Chain A
Amino acid sequence: MTTPYRWYSMASGAALLALWSVLTLSGLVDERSLPSPVTLAQTFADLLARGYSGSPLWSHVGISIFRALAGFSLAILIGVPLGLLIGRHKVLEAVFAPIIGFFRPIPPIAFITLFVFYFGIGEGPKIGLIFMACLWYVVLNSAEGVRNIPDLIIRAGENIGLTRSQLFLKVVLPAALPAIMTAIRAASSISWTLVVASELIGAQAGLGFMILDSAQYFNLPVTYVGIIIIGLIGLVWELAISAVQRRVLHWQGK
C-alpha cells in the first residue's frame, strides 16, 4: 500500500477501536455480551500467565500453527511438482482431470466428520484435511501457470541448447513462478481457515479448541482473545507471504 493511503487504513482501524471502547466502557453494551478492550487485555495477561485448560497459551498457538504449516507445506511440496508435470504432459492432465474435477468443488469442511470417523481425532486427520484442501489449489494453479507459458519462451530455451531437464528447471519452473506464488498465497489462507475449523470438531488443544471450549463455558473474553490472536496471526502470515512474493518475483517490475 502506498503511503498516503496507509493513513486512511490506520484511521479506520483506530475508529473501530474507539467505537468499541466507547460502547463497552460506557456501559451502553453489556460487558457480558461484548467484553471491553480492558477486559480483553486482562484476559490476555491471564492466559499468558496461567494458560488455558492446563496448557500454556503458546502451546495452543504453536499446535495450530504447526498443523497449518504441516498441511500447507506438504501440499506445496507435492502439489507444485505434480501441477508442473500435469501442465506439461497431456496424458497426466487427462488422468488427473476427473479426480480433481470431482473433489475440488466439495467444500473441505464437508470432509471433516468423515476424517474424524476414519482417522480419529489425532494430528493426522487435521493435517490431512488441510493438505487435501490446499493441494487442489496448488496443483491447478501450477498446471495453469505452465499451460500459460508462451510457446516462444520455450522455443528460446530449446534454441540456446537446453536439455529437457534443463528446460524444465531453468525455464518452465521460473516462468510458472508467478502462478505458483499465487497458489501459495491462496493455500496459506485456506490452511489457516481450516485449522481453526478442524479444531472445532475434535481437538484437545489449539486456538480453535480454545475458542469453542471457552464459548461453551460462557467465558467470552477468552473466546474473543482467541479470535483476535487467530486474526493477527493470519494477518502477519499474509504480510510475510506477500513480502516473499515481491522478493521472488522482483523481475516482474511491479
Chain B
Amino acid sequence: MTEVLVSKGLEKCFSSPGRATGQRIKAVTDFNLVIEAEEIICIVGPSGCGKSTFLDMVAGFTEPTSGLLEIMGEEIHRPSPDRGVVFQQPVLFPWLSVYDNVVLGPKSRGVKPGDYRPEADRVLKSVGLEKFRDHYPYQLSGGMKQRAQIARVLVAGPKLILMDEPFGALDAQMRINMHELLISVWQEYKPTILFITHDVEEALFLANRVIVMSQHPGTIARIYDIPFERPRTYAITADPRFAEARAEIVELLRAKPEART
C-alpha cells in the first residue's frame, strides 16, 4: 500500500495572547499517523482538541512548529489542489456559476479546455449537479453547495481530500444523503480522505479507521479499525460491532483526562 500522508512527532504551538509573553499553548502535539491510499480516515475528538489545527497543517494553510508532515514523500509547506479542502461553511466563489467554480482551478493552472471540460462534466455528474452547472451559489441549497465544493476538489484529482466537518451544518436527512453520496464518490474515484467530525456515527459509517483525539495534550488517544465492507448501508448501524465501537468511543470522548499544560 502507498503511504499518502505521514505525520511524525508533529507539533503546533500558538502564542496565547491572554498569558505572559512567550507563553505558548500546544494545540497539537506528538501526532503520529500514516494514511494509506484509498483510506477514509475520520478524526473525532472534543471541541478544541486540535482537529482543525492538524487539518490546516495538512492543507498547508499553517506551518507545523516541529515534526514531520509529508504528502507522498514530500514535505508540506503550502496549499495545493493535491490536498483539496471541503470547508464546513459553503465556501464557493459567489460570483461564479457552479461550473466556473469547478473549472477555475484547472483553468488557472493552464490545463487545456479539452482536458478540464470533460473532467468537470464528469465530477458534476458524480455529485449530481449536472443540471445546476449554470446556477450561482445563492441559488443552491446547503447540501448542493457542499456537493459543489466536493466537485471543485475532485476535478483536480487530489492525492488527499480534506474535509473539516463538511456536513455539520446540514440537517439529519441531508447528512445521510451526503454520506451516501460521499461513499458513491469514493467507489468511483477511490480517493484518500481525511474527514473531521463531531458525530461518532458519521465517523463509523464512513471510515476505514476512526482516530479519537484527546485534549491536553491534543494528540491521538486511540485508533479504531472499522471492518465493514463498502458500499455500506445504514443497516450496519444495527450490527453489534458498530454499537460496541460507538459505545466505546463515546465513553472515551466523555472521560476527559486531567488537563495538563
Contacts and interface: CB of A to CB of B under 8 A. Distances in A.
18 contacts: A152-B89, A156-B93, A159-B83, A160-B108, A160-B152, A161-B79, A161-B81, A166-B108, A171-B93, A174-B95, A175-B95, A251-B94, A251-B95, A251-B137, A251-B138, A252-B94, A253-B136, A253-B138
Contacts of A250: 136
Nearest to B137: A251
Given A157-B93, A174-B93, 19 more contacts: A152-B91, A153-B93, A155-B61, A155-B79, A156-B85, A156-B92, A158-B60, A159-B80, A159-B83, A160-B104, A160-B108, A160-B152, A161-B81, A162-B105, A163-B108, A170-B108, A175-B95, A250-B136, A251-B95
* Most A CB within 10 A of own CB, among B78, B92, B105, B139: B105
B139 A253 contact: yes
Nearest to B87: A152
A114 B113 CA distance: 58
Question: Top 6 A-B pairs ranked by shortest CB distance?
Answer: A160-B105, A253-B138, A158-B79, A161-B81, A174-B95, A251-B95
A153 B92 CA distance: 7
Contacts of B78: 158
* Most A CB within 10 A of own CB, among B81, B89, B96, B104: B104
B64 interface: no
B206 interface: no
B183 interface: no
Contacts of B87: 152, 155-156
B95 A161 contact: no
A166 to B, nearest CB: 5
B59 interface: yes
A76 B227 CA distance: 62
Interface string B91-123: 111111000000011001100000000000000
B158 to A, nearest CB: 10
Interface string B146-165: 00000010001000000000
Contacts of A159: 59, 79-81, 83-85
A177 interface: yes
A163 B108 CA distance: 8
* Most B CB within 10 A of own CB, among A157, A161, A177, A252: A161
A252 B80 contact: no
A150 B92 CA distance: 11
Interface of B: 59-61, 78-81, 83-85, 87, 89, 91-96, 104-105, 108-109, 136-139, 152, 156
Nearest to B79: A158
A162 B139 CA distance: 25
Contacts of A160: 81, 84, 104-105, 108, 152, 156
Contacts of B137: 251
Contacts of B93: 153, 156-157, 171, 174-175
A17 to B, nearest CB: 41
Interface string A162-181: 11001000110011010000
Contacts of A171: 93
B215 to A, nearest CB: 24
* Most B CB within 10 A of own CB, among A158, A177, A250: A158
A51 B152 CA distance: 62
A150 B90 CA distance: 12
B91 A156 contact: yes
A28 B169 CA distance: 69
Contacts of A157: 93
B206 to A, nearest CB: 21
Nearest to A163: B108
Contacts of A163: 108
A155 B139 contact: no
Interface in A169-207: 170-171, 174-175, 177
B49 to A, nearest CB: 21
Contact of A162 (B60, B61, B108): B108
Given A158-B61, A161-B156, A252-B138, A177 B95 contact: yes
* Most B CB within 10 A of own CB, among A150, A153, A250: A153
Contacts of B80: 159, 161
A161 B81 CA distance: 6
Contacts of B79: 155, 158-159, 161
